[in-house]
Structure 1
């Protein structure tokens, strides 16, 4: 499961507090950024589907199954209040194993 992941990048120079922000797929599997999680400016963090201990730039969803559909899916990035902030939709393409939004 740890081969499946998404990344989130802070393109600003200022840190962003992501506490309580959520990422959901079409089936409403929900990842919630942990309390106190701050992403430094110009930094990218990885969120892996599988299980392990969170680190500064690698977080774990702690799921026992894969989340993202190989045939296509939509990731929704939401505020702690549930307002959709951004989305990324992809469809299957033969030979492609990464999607960038």
Structure 2
């Protein structure tokens, strides 16, 4: 058997047996929406407890802290929360934005709204940089659960 035949057969076998990889893998965004809890437990009566049962969690997927000053989180309708100047999200850390009122901390921010933001059936959460560039989004269309993992 000729060497070219053996090499050709080996190349063909490697091509057929190799798993197909996508031409480009989707990059994980630096700030990723990981959960939208859109239907707080119990009856929605606009109580602060109910409003704070609604939230969005984002995660820093990088190995460095990210300054989130002037980044925004919004829904499809256009309700927009602008993150303040003093929010630095550490590498690998998560930050939760709750709809109602409360005292901001390093891991939780409060929108201070008196009405719901996230629709219970379908909506989309967006996170954008200060220049308006979309970093990540998470859409849901469900009435079977109270939250969606993104």
TM-score by length of 2: 0.64
| Structure 1 residue 51: Cα displacement | 0.4
Q: Provide the rounded CA distance (Å) in 2 between the counterparts of 1:13 and 1:85.
A: 17
Q: Show structure 1 runs of 4+ deviating over 2 A.
A: none
1:79 correspondence with 2:79: no
Q: Deviations over 1:40-62 (max 9, x none)?
A: 11111111000011111010011
| Structure 1 residue 93: Cα displacement | 3.5
| 1:99 alignment partner in structure 2 | 148
Tell me, which stretches of 5 or more residues in structure 2 are unaligned?
1-50
Higher helix share: 2
1:6 correspondence with 2:56: yes
Q: 2:68 aligns with which of 6, 18, 43?
A: 18
Q: 1:64 aligns with which of 114, 121, 124?
A: 114
Higher Cα Rg, which structure? 2
TM-score by length of 1: 0.93
How many residues get paired? 100
SS at match of 2:148: coil
Q: Provide the rounded CA distance (Å) in 2 between the counterparts of 1:98 and 1:74.
A: 12
Q: Deviations over 1:8-44 (max 9, x none)?
A: 1112221011110001111100011111210011111
Alignment of 1:44-63 (within 5 A): 44-63=94-113
Tell me, which stretches of 5 or more residues in structure 1 are unaligned?
none
Task: Say what the alpha-carbon RMSD is for the aligned residues.
Answer: 1.0
Contact 2:120/2:143 (8 A) holds in 1: no
Higher strand share: 1
